[in-house]
Chains A and B, each alone.
Chain A
Amino acid sequence: MDLTLKIWRQNGPQEKGEMKTYPISGVEEDMSFLEMLDFLNDKLINEGIEPVVFDHDCREGICGMCSLFINGEAHGPGRKVTTCQLHMREFKSGDTIYIEPFRAKAFPIIKDLMVDRSAFDRIQRAGGYISVNTSGNTIDANAIPVPKENADKAFDAATCIGCGACVATCKNSSAMLFASAKISQFSLLPQGQPEAKERVLNMVHQMDLEGFGNCTNTGACEVECPKGISLENIARMNRDYLFASLSSNK
């Protein structure tokens, strides 16, 4: 395959970036998108050009490290797929492919296509956990009855890999889908109940502090989410926050 790649190059967080064009030939359709970028980088290194920096880790679609806004969509064309699981057979020889970093004030660019998503970690730290005494007298999780429907929904919410595609896709750079998934995975389970009110209040507060936008309910996040996290989680967060605001002890 012969492709024209238009890639965002930016030397550092404070530098000015720009789109640069790289023609590339010899791409095979069985390559993953990241393998195609590896292939490009080998070529650039041989030519003495600095390789393109991008995030990646497991390359199995489960770690949430890969990102990339490809041809105007987070993780590229196709649904419920991460960039690492996107293959070049989705493109045609002769295509021009735009590759940009995830854009949000809360996701500052580190270099080229790599962005700092630690804002998600701080939201998680604000309440995305349960306080359990693990010093030898932990209760077996299976000893607590959980309704099947709730277990399934909590598990679905917990499949969020925190990649940030929701933020990248949202016209407002809103992190509501991420935050609501991380809140829901606890609020649906009995173990999450003692801290449920504080959790939703604190995590929403941290999300606001990070400078993410608001939710317009366009539903774009759900469409582009590689794990298919449902908008139902945002509704749950909305009502949990409303009730917590009205009935919190603090």
Chain B
Amino acid sequence: MATTSKGLFGSSLARKYWMAVSGLFLCTFLVGHLLGNLQLFVAGEEGKLAFNEYGHFMTTFPVVKILSYITYGAIFLHTVDGIMLALQNRAARPVGYVKEKQSANASWASRKMALLGTLTLFFIVVHMKSFWYEMHYGALGLDANGNKDLWTLTVTAFEQWWYAAFYVVAITGLAFHLSHGAQSAFQTLGINHPRYTPIIKNTMTAFAWLIPAGFVAVAVFLFVVQPGQNL
């Protein structure tokens, strides 16, 4: 048998491997991001100084810098690869069905991954403009310790109802995206086992809802408590 293959670049399966690997890496990023956000539950001057110290560390420590570049790369890869897959999938059925009962055999989230991914990407752009851009290139004031006052920027953003609402909607979209993607990545990488697959599915489903729930909890806390008004 002669071999013809595009191997790990270009074939349909390879594209999915890259989606799975980049997606799972971004899942680990979410855990780290959430742990940082949880510090916002500490209100008052003490919480403000600690959060700004953390912000300074996250933008200057070399290892974090390297990790952040890998994260940008993963987002880029996941996006470009996702667009290529979506275009191929659309081209694979030029004429659609008049009547199609997709809900009979597949979950809503699994059928809307491209839409949910696009929503998430839009959110990331807005989110990075709000905080990342301001932290790096904006005119932020300094706190008592001389660190950039990212805390005030953050808490005042979430005091606006529309910003908090947009955030909650976007994170909910992310939760649905993860509810399919996080466990599906293991199937794509060929991991399927009578004993371990149910454990993977349950764990990743819990992950998909609990991590976004943590992000939403912080946002709701900031909107309700309005810690910026009490300083």
Chain A residues at the B interface, C-beta cutoff of 8 Å: 6, 8, 19, 69, 71-73, 98, 100, 103-106, 126-127, 131, 169, 171-174, 195, 197-199, 201-202, 204-208, 211-220, 223-224, 231-232, 234-242, 244-246, 248, 250
One of B25-33, B47-55, B125-133, B189-197 at the interface: B189-197
- For the complex, is B2 an interface residue (Cβ under 8 Å from A)? yes
Asked, given contacts A198-B3, A214-B88, whether A219 binds B110 with beta carbons under 8 Å apart, the answer is yes
Cβ contact within 8 Å between A238 and B105: no
Residues on the B chain within 8 Å of A100, using CB? 97-99
15 A-B pairs besides A127-B1, A205-B5 with CB distance below 8 A are A174-B12, A174-B89, A199-B1, A201-B5, A206-B4, A207-B12, A212-B12, A213-B91, A217-B110, A231-B192, A238-B13, A241-B190, A244-B5, A245-B7, A248-B5
A204, A216, A220, A235: most-surrounded residue (chain B CB, <10 A): A216
Query: A224 vs B105: C-alpha distance in the bound complex, in angstroms?
Result: 7
Residues of B within 8 A of A72 (CB): 97, 99-102, 104
Q: How far is the CB of A147 from chain B (nearest CB, A)?
A: 15
Contact stretch, chosen from B14-22, B68-76, B148-156, B211-219: B14-22
A237 to B: closest C-beta gap in Å: 8
Q: A204-B13, A235-B191, A245-B14 are in contact. Are A218 and B110 (CB under 8 A)?
A: yes
Minimum distance in angstroms from B182 CB to a CB of chain A: 11
Find B1's partner among A106, A131, A237 (CB 8 Å cutoff): A131
Q: When the two chains form their complex, are residues B91 and A239 in contact, meaning their CB atoms are under 8 A apart?
A: no
Q: Which 7 A-B pairs have the closest CB atoms?
A: A239-B190, A72-B101, A235-B192, A213-B92, A201-B5, A218-B106, A172-B89
Interface residues on B, range: 35 or more
Given contacts A98-B99, A219-B110, A223-B106, contact A198 B187 (CB under 8 A): no
**How far is the CB of A37 from the nearest CB of chain B, in Å?**
17
Q: Which of B5, B91, B189 contacts A202 (CB 8 A)?
A: B5
Query: Are B3 and A201 in touch, CB under 8 angstroms?
Result: yes
In the bound complex, residues from chain A placing their C-beta under 8 Å from that of B88 are 172, 213-214
CA distance A232 to B187 in the complex (A): 8
A residues less than 8 Å from B180 (CB atoms): 217-218
Of A207, A217, A218, A244, chain B has the most CB atoms within 10 Å of the CB of: A217
In the assembled complex, B111 has its CB within 8 A of some CB on chain A: yes
CA distance in complex: A239, B91 (Å): 26
* Separation of A234 and B6 alpha carbons in the complex (Å): 19
Q: Is the Cβ of A216 less than 8 Å from the Cβ of B113? A: yes
CB contacts (< 8 Å) of A105 on chain B: these are 91-94
Q: Whole-angstrom distance between the alpha carbons of A132 and B52 in the complex?
A: 71
Counting CB contacts under 8 A, is B144 at the interface? no
B62 contacts partner chain A, Cβ-Cβ < 8 Å: no
The residues of B that contact A172 with a CB separation of less than 8 Å are 88-89, 92-93
- Contacts A205-B11, A231-B187 known; A71 to B99 CB distance under 8 Å? yes
Which A residues are in CB contact (< 8 Å) with B187? 217, 231, 234-235, 238
> Bound state CA distance, A214 and B84, in angstroms?
10
State in angstroms the CA–CA spacing of A53 and B219 once bound together. 59
Q: Which residues of A contact B4 (CB under 8 A)?
A: 126, 201-202, 205-206
Whether B1 lies near A171 (C-beta < 8 A) is: no
In the complex, B184 has a CB within 8 A of chain A: yes
Quick check: A211 and B91 within 8 Å, CB to CB?
A: yes
A214 to chain B, nearest CB (A): 5
Chain A: CB-nearest residue to B188: A238
Are B106 and A198 touching (Cβ within 8 A)? no
A211 touches B110 (CB 8 A): no
Q: Tell whether, in the assembled complex, residue A103 and residue B93 are in contact, meaning their CB atoms are under 8 Å apart.
A: yes
User: How far is it, in angstroms, between the C-alpha of A17 and the C-alpha of B6 when the chains are bound?
Assistant: 36
Q: Are A202 and B192 in contact (CB under 8 A)?
A: no
Inter-subunit contact A208/B11 (CB<8 Å): yes
A213 to B12, CA, bound (A): 8
Q: Select B188's contact among A173, A217, A218, A248, beta carbons within 8 Å.
A: A217
Contacting B105 at CB < 8 Å: which of A6, A169, A173, A236?
A169
Interface centre among B17, B104, B189 (most CB of A within 10 A): B104
Across-interface contacts of B104 in A (CB, < 8 A): 72-73, 223
Q: Complex formed: what's the CA distance from A244 to B12 in Å? A: 15
For A223, the closest partner residue in chain B by CB is B105
A238 to B12, CA, bound (A): 10
